[in-house]
């Protein structure tokens, strides 16, 4: 940490550039870049992220030299604007804004109109020849400063403002007269005095600036910023920069205004300027949704010269940054000012379309397009949509701010949303408008609905970034927080009622409405063609039914990496047969039950072979403990006790006789359950251990697989069965089970007169198996790492129980990630690495993959690529994400190698003008 007073903590906008994002934050780096490009940017300076980290590390004190440098930099703004900070006749006002290196829109604090006090407000009014404007700016500043810097509840200010607005003819903030504004200012100061226990609103502009800078630094560790970083996996040690910039005013009259715009539509990706503005307003009016703004195209009629200049600036910025830009602007008396630009947050559909069209436009390469779409955005494309055939009753309609459809229970405040979510309920958050303080509720919501706000409001921007369906500006709804309901027309919806939000159309629907999966479209097809051309890692799916396998194949799966045969035994009829097998007292009885199960399993396997025609199918033999197929011990005891009570109350011999038979049957079952009970069943009699003790189970499953495969071959289906032995820890376990599988498989195959290929491998899911992989590989054709169980056994954690404390570990930075979601590369990952190396020492061509849920997680996939695995396997709906992540891992590896060699990053294939279309959806 720098503590030298001569260390440079502050940079003027003309001193920075876009490469300094880590130091100046995204906002500071980008306004510096725009300044250098000659675009109309109000002058200012940036206090670095280093200063923030020093402030937070050393008792919330400015690092030595920072405040002096800030005051010196303020003189540069004074010189450029020909105004004086704190001067009662010609006052300079500034904005103080946050700006982290990774965009966190709305999650930290901003203060506008700083420098106003009882004297400068009069000077500003005379200078601008508009006292009403000056008073309006002052009341805005007091409420914003009071809330953000001094911690006063914003609703206290809102109630005062609403009371005085109700006294005007129009009822809007622009209808407030100077006399009413003076009364509001007095009321605001009283609120602060009462709330702060006698502390006055500060009149010294330099004290205002010092307090505002501290507040922005403090907001880095505010709840909403912490929640946002947690949700978006942003490191907590980056800190935020602070941008101090000369104010320009959009509330000087009807030739002034403010707005937010995107160079392309952030919901659809269409190449059309998308945004909103308000005349005679300041920036927070648009984002906060206090007034409903107008579409940006209307500016062409109201301020045509400004509109032309604005569109030209948008074109220059997108061409310069080679990406869709999110731009804040202000118009002051027909003069355009650009306040900031940043890479725009976008929906998944927009991310894919923008990436593809920018390749077609010759702006970026195919490889760059692949890196532009992240896993979360691609996942959004798979969001469900309301079934057009559903009989849906519309409550109201608003603006379709973020696509997708979700149903849930209504929550009217963010804390209530968190409580419902923690109780396991899907939540729809309904608000007048959202603010950054609502983020913790937004983060857990399935969808968001607001009564006010436009397409660039806080709710819209945050929801699109998270991929959460959202409808904003549903002005017909009236929310009554005290009584706990909202009303629209004839509909009254109470908190806890079910509603469905259709973020693609803007509809709010009664109850739970059926949804369907969307069509992915030509832009997705094009992007995934490029993805598949780049990646080297194959992607398979975990699927247990023909239906799931078909879905996986449609998403581009190149085989099934894990079919869990135990899932095929669930269902009333199958479960009864499975219990019959388990409860059998001798081999003959057990074999009879297995003979009944065989045709059922065979049918399931045939459907899988049919769905995966031409692709490999890895089938894991029975894995879980047998007790899982039997009733719960405690529940059985309760049932027996209840039956005995019924016997006492029965009034006929036939009834008593039947009850006694039921009791005997239940007690036999209870006895068997008690025999099979284990203290730690996940480390007990399961996996290959079942096949070792009951070889007839292995034989039955192998017969079912091979008979299904043979009949599929006869039907013209290309099959490649891979039979996987689970939970091996000793090489002789695999040797024994392999011998049994091979003998059975060859016998079945011969009985059909066929010679199709099959292989036998094992799942590496125990530390000992990874450490002795060289010995185990002698008996294996392939390895598949079961990273779910390998994580459990390495950490000594139970997936079912660790939820009680893992969140605490992550919050307190004991662990960075939940190891069941993101592969623990330092521990579990090292066991995988050892297993790969030792397995291939024995067999250099050993095929290796992973089949835990880590197979669909981007960081884990990159790790697998680095180890040289052949494939990853994940749930069907994660297959597109795995394909994308595998391609991105290749590109990241190329970049690292180029940097290590001191060479420029290789520019890949020339930009394609006409994309080819993939064969699969």
DSSP state, 300?
H
Instruction: Measure the CA–CA gap between 136 and 116, rounded to whole angstroms.
Output: 11
Kindly give the interhelix angle for 131-148 and 120-128, rounded to the nearest 10 degrees.
Answer: 140
Tokens found for residue 188: 């605001």
Backbone phi, psi, residue 21, to 5°: -60, -40
Instruction: Measure the CA–CA gap between 613 and 859, rounded to whole angstroms.
Output: 31
DSSP state, 347?
-
Kindly give the interhelix angle for 858-867 and 879-900, rounded to the nearest 10 degrees.
Answer: 60
Tens of pLDDT, residue by residue over 328-368, are 999 999 999 999 999 998 888 899 999 999 999 999 999 99
Residue 255: the pLDDT is 93
Tokens found for residue 406: 């979700």
**Coil/strand/helix, residue 862:** helix
Catalytic residue among 147, 383, 432, 458: 458
Residue 915: the pLDDT is 38
Is the separation of the CB atoms in 199 and 193 below 8 Å?
Answer: yes
Instruction: Measure the CA–CA gap between 882 and 712, rounded to whole angstroms.
Output: 29
- How would you class 401 by CB atoms within 10 Å of its CB: exposed for 0-12, middle for 13-18, buried for 19 or more? buried
H or E stretch covering 508: strand 507-510
Instruction: Measure the CA–CA gap between 591 and 597, rounded to whole angstroms.
Output: 10
Tens of pLDDT, residue by residue over 250-290, are 888 899 999 999 999 998 899 999 999 999 888 767 666 56
- Low-confidence residues of the chain, pLDDT below 50? 1-2, 907-921
Is the separation of the CB atoms in 52 and 69 below 8 Å?
Answer: no
C-alpha closest to that of 99 among 288, 4, 225, 7: 225
Residue 3: the pLDDT is 54
Cβ atoms within 10 Å, residue 400: 23
Q: Left if phi > 0, otherwise alpha if psi is -120 to 50, otherwise beta: which for 764?
A: beta
DSSP state, 632?
-
- How would you class 794 by CB atoms within 10 Å of its CB: exposed for 0-12, middle for 13-18, buried for 19 or more? buried
Is the separation of the CB atoms in 50 and 82 below 8 Å?
Answer: no
Cβ atoms within 10 Å, residue 255: 15
Tokens found for residue 53: 């980290």
C-alpha closest to that of 284 among 159, 139, 400: 139
- The verdict on whether 779 is a catalytic residue reads no
Q: What angle do CA 544, 547, 553 make, to 5 degrees?
A: 90
C-alpha closest to that of 113 among 293, 327, 282: 282
- Rg (alpha carbons) of the chain, rounded to whole number: 33
Catalytic residue among 851, 854, 865, 874: 851
Backbone phi, psi, residue 299, to 5°: -65, -25
Tokens found for residue 93: 């006002």
**Helix, strand, coil shares of the chain as percentages rounded to 5?**
50, 15, 35
Q: How many helices (H) and strands (E) does the chain have?
A: 34, 33
Q: Cα dist. 354→264, 444, 883 in Å?
A: 8, 28, 19
Instruction: Measure the CA–CA gap between 539 and 639, rounded to whole angstroms.
Output: 47
In terms of residues, how long is the chain?
A: 921
Cβ atoms within 10 Å, residue 245: 24
**Coil/strand/helix, residue 171:** coil
Beta-bridged to residue 585, according to DSSP, are none
Pairing, β 478-480 against β 485-488: antiparallel
- The verdict on whether 458 is a catalytic residue reads yes
Backbone phi, psi, residue 754, to 5°: -120, 160
Instruction: Measure the CA–CA gap between 362 and 366, rounded to whole angstroms.
Output: 10
Tokens found for residue 285: 């009016």
Q: Cα dist. 87→92, 206, 425, 556, 731 in Å?
A: 7, 11, 56, 67, 84
């Amino acid at each position: 940490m720098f503590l030298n007073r001569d260390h440079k903590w502050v940079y003027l906008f003309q001193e920075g550039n876009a490469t300094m994002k880590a130091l100046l934050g995204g906002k500071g780096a980008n306004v510096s870049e725009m300044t250098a490009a000659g675009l109309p940017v109000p002058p200012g300076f940036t206090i670095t992220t280093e200063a923030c980290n020093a402030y937070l590390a050393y008792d919330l004190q400015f690092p030595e030299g920072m405040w002096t440098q800030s005051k010196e930099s303020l003189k540069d703004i004074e010189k450029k604007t020909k105004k004086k900070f704190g001067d009662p006749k010609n006052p300079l006002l500034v904005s103080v804004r946050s700006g982290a290196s990774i965009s966190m829109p709305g999650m930290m604090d901003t203060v506008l109109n700083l420098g106003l006090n009882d004297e400068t407000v009069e000077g500003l009014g005379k200078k601008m020849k508009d006292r009403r404007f000056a008073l309006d700016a002052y009341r805005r500043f007091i409420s914003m400063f009071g809330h953000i810097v001094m911690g006063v509840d914003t609703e206290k200010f809102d109630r005062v403002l609403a009371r005085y607005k109700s006294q005007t003819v129009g009822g809007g903030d622009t209808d407030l007269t100077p006399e009413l504004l003076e009364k509001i200012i007095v009321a605001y100061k009283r609120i602060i005095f009462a709330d702060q226990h006698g502390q006055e609103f500060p009149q010294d502009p330099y004290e205002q600036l010092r307090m505002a800078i501290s507040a922005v630094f403090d907001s880095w560790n505010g709840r909403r910023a912490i929640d946002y970083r947690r949700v978006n996996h942003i490191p907590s040690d980056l800190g935020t920069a602070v941008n101090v910039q000369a104010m320009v005013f959009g509330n000087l009259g009807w030739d002034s205004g403010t707005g937010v715009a995107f160079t392309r539509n952030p919901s659809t990706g269409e190449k059309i300027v998308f945004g909103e503005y308000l005349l005679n307003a300041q920036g927070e009016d648009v984002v906060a949704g206090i007034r409903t703004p107008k579409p940006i195209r209307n500016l062409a009629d109201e301020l045509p010269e400004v509109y032309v200049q604005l569109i030209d600036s948008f074109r220059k910025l997108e061409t310069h940054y080679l990406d869709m830009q999110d731009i804040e602007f202000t118009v002051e008396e027909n003069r355009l000012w650009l306040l900031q630009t940043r890479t725009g947050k976008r929906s998944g559909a927009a991310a894919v379309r923008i990436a593809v069209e920018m390749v077609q436009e010759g702006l970026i390469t195919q490889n760059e397009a692949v890196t532009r779409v992240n896993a979360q955005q691609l996942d959004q494309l798979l969001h469900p949509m309301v079934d057009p055939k559903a009989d849906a009753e519309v409550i109201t309609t608003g603006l379709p701010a973020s696509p997708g459809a979700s149903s849930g229970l209504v929550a009217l405040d963010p804390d209530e949303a968190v409580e419902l979510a923690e109780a396991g309920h899907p939540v729809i958050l309904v608000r007048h408008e959202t603010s950054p303080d609502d983020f913790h509720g937004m983060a857990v919501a399935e969808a968001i609905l607001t009564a006010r706000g436009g397409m660039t409001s806080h709710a819209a921007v945050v929801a699109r970034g998270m991929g959460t369906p959202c409808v904003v500006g549903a002005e017909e709804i009236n929310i009554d927080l005290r009584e706990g309901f909202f009303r629209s027309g004839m509909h009254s919806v109470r908190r806890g009622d079910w509603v469905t939000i259709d973020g693609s159309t803007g509809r709010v629907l009664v109850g739970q409405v059926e949804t369907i999966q969307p069509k992915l479209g030509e832009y997705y097809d094009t992007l995934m063609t490029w993805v598949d051309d780049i990646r080297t890692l194959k992607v398979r799916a975990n699927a247990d039914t023909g239906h799931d396998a078909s879905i996986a194949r449609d998403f581009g799966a190149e085989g099934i990496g894990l079919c869990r045969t135990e899932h095929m035994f669930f269902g009333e009829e199958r479960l009864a047969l499975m219990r019959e097998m388990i409860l059998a007292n001798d081999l003959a009885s057990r074999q009879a039950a297995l003979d009944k199960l065989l045709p059922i399993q065979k049918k399931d396997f045939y459907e899988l072979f049919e769905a995966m025609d031409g692709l490999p199918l890895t089938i894991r033999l029975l894995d879980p403990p047998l007790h899982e197929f039997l009733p719960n011990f405690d529940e059985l005891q309760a049932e027996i006790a209840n039956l005995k009570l019924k016997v006492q109350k029965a009034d006929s011999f036939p009834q008593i006789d039947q009850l006694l038979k039921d009791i005997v049957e239940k007690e036999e079952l209870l006895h068997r359950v008690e025999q099979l009970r284990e203290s730690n069943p996940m480390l007990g009699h399961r996996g290959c251990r079942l096949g070792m003790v009951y070889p007839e189970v292995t034989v039955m499953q192998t017969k079912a697989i091979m008979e299904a495969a043979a009949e599929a071959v006869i039907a013209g289906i290309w099959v490649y069965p891979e039979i996987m032995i689970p939970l091996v820890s000793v090489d002789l376990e695999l040797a024994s089970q392999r011998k049994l599988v091979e003998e059975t498989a060859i016998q079945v195959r011969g009985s059909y007169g066929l010679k199709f290929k099959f292989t036998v491998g094992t799942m590496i899911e125990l530390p000992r198996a990874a450490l002795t992989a060289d010995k185990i590989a002698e008996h294996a054709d392939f390895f598949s790492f079961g990273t779910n169980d390998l994580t459990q056994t390495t950490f000594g954690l139970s997936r079912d129980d660790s939820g009680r404390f893992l969140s605490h570990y992550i919050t307190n930075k004991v662990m960075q990630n939940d190891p069941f979601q993101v592969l623990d590369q330092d521990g579990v990952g090292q066991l995988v690495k050892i297993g790969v190396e030792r397995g291939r020492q024995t067999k250099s061509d050993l095929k290796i993959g992973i089949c835990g849920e880590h197979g669909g997680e981007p960081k884990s996939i990159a790790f697998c690529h680095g180890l040289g695995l052949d494939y990853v396997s994940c749930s069907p709906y994660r297959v597109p994400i795995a394909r994308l992540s595998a391609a991105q891992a290749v590109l990241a590896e190329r970049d690292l190698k180029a940097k290590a060699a001191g060479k420029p990053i290789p520019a890949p294939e020339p930009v394609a003008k006409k994309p080819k279309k993939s064969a699969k959806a």
